[in-house]
Structures are given as structure tokens and as C-alpha cells.
């Protein structure tokens, strides 16, 4: 891993290739390359070079990405027993830098390697073949052999004649005998011991 300790605006930052730095605002427009020459330490794997006080001929090449403001800081001043209260806020201005290269006399711009694009197979829609109704009607129907016809017809007749012969009208149902209702019962016999008077008998004359 290759990195360097850089000084900017009286502060020290660690710069790594491909990384970013947030330093105090620089008077440079976004998109401009900036060379930081105050390199205090340079490390390349196990090789470490310490500047005395600066490592010469190994600047850090950066590019300005944007300018932005930091978080708001509140400042409150007061004096007790004197009615002095002063509250103010502050937002520091910063510049974001992209570290392109560490060391080297000139900046070497590395072009990104083109990505291999996989060729996708485009499947063509299969054309559906539908038989037209005219062709369907014109298609010859399968006809059975003459032998089959000769054998099939008599069999059909035989079955039909047999069916006619066998099918008889259903036999008439046997007549159900009529049950004669019993005649009305004769007049009820008179009760024993009670006889009606004969018509010839005359009633006794009434007493005077």
C-alpha cells in the first residue's frame, strides 16, 4: 500500500491513491489539478521515507472535485453580572480533493480499462404456421379398404334385423281382479227379549 503524509493549510493529511482529502478551501476552481509538494512522509510497502523536513521530487497530484461547507459551530460569549450575551454561528469552507498519483515528476493519467461486454444472443420469434381452412378442407379423408366396406355393411344389417326381430311389444299386463265390495249388512237383529207388537194386535182402550 502506497500512501503519503501531506501538509496543507498548516494541517496534515494522509493521502492514498484513489482516495479523497478534505482540506481548507483552496482558491482553485473545480476540475483543476493541484500539486501538493509539502510531503512529510512517503511509504511504499515496506519502504518508508521520512522528509528532512520535506521529501523532495515526490509531490502528490490531486484534482479539485468540489467546494463545500462543514457543519455549523455555535459560539456563545457572555459575561456574568454585566448582561453581555453574544451568540454566533460559523461554517468552515472546505475543498474536496481526489488523489490521482503519489510521486513522479509528471502526472500520468491512467485510462480506465474497457469492460468486456458480453454479446447477448437475440432470439428471433418463431413464426407460427397455421393451416388455412381451405387447405384443411381440401385434405383427403382416409377411406377404408373395399373389403372393410363389404364386411361392415352386412354386419350392420344383421344387427339391425336381429334387433327388429328381437324387439317385441311388451306383453299386456294381467288384469287385476276386481274386489267386490261386501253388500250392506242386513238390518241389525233386534235385541233379545224385545219383540215388536204385531200390527193385528190392538192397543188396549184407554180407561175412562
Q: Which residues contact 5 (CB under 8 A, 6 or more apart)?
A: 12, 13, 14, 15, 39, 40, 41
- Position 146 scores a pLDDT of 52
Local structure of residue 56 (DSSP, 8 states): T
- Position 199 scores a pLDDT of 52
Q: Consecutive sets of 10 residues in the chain, 208 residues long: mean pLDDT of each? A: 91 93 95 92 90 89 95 96 96 96 81 62 63 55 53 47 52 63 53 53 55
pLDDT per residue over 64-101, tens digit each? 999 999 999 999 999 999 999 999 999 999 999 999 99
Rounded Cα distance between 52 and 122, Å, is: 64
- Position 109 scores a pLDDT of 73
Residue 40 in grid coordinates: 512529510
Rounded Cα distance between 162 and 164, Å, is: 5
Q: In sequence order, which ranges of the chain are alpha helices (DSSP H)? A: 133-138, 146-166
- Position 152 scores a pLDDT of 47
Rounded Cα distance between 139 and 203, Å, is: 121
Local structure of residue 80 (DSSP, 8 states): T
pTM, whole model, 2 decimals?
Answer: 0.50
Amino acid at each position: 500500500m502506497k500512501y503519503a503524509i501531506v501538509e496543507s493549510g498548516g494541517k496534515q493529511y494522509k493521502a492514498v491513491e484513489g482516495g479523497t482529502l478534505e482540506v481548507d478551501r483552496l482558491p482553485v476552481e473545480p476540475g483543476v489539478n493541484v500539486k501538493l509538494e509539502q510531503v512529510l512522509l512517503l511509504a511504499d510497502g515496506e519502504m518508508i521515507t521520512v522528509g528532512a523536513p520535506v521529501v523532495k521530487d515526490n509531490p502528490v497530484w490531486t484534482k479539485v472535485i468540489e467546494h463545500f461547507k462543514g457543519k455549523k459551530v455555535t459560539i456563545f460569549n457572555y459575561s456574568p453580572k454585566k448582561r453581555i450575551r453574544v451568540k454566533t454561528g460559523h461554517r468552515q469552507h472546505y475543498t474536496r480533493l481526489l488523489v490521482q498519483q503519489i510521486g513522479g515528476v509528471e502526472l500520468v493519467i491512467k485510462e480506465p480499462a474497457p469492460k468486456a461486454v458480453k454479446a447477448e444472443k437475440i432470439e428471433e420469434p418463431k413464426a407460427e404456421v397455421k393451416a388455412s381452412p381451405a387447405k384443411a378442407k381440401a385434405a383427403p379423408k382416409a377411406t377404408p379398404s373395399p373389403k372393410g366396406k363389404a364386411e361392415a355393411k352386412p354386419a350392420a344389417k344383421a344387427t339391425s334385423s336381429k334387433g327388429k326381430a328381437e324387439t317385441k311389444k311388451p306383453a299386456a299386463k294381467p288384469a287385476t281382479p276386481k274386489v267386490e265390495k261386501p253388500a250392506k249388512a242386513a238390518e241389525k237383529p233386534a235385541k233379545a227379549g224385545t219383540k215388536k207388537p204385531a200390527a193385528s194386535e190392538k192397543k188396549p182402550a184407554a180407561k175412562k
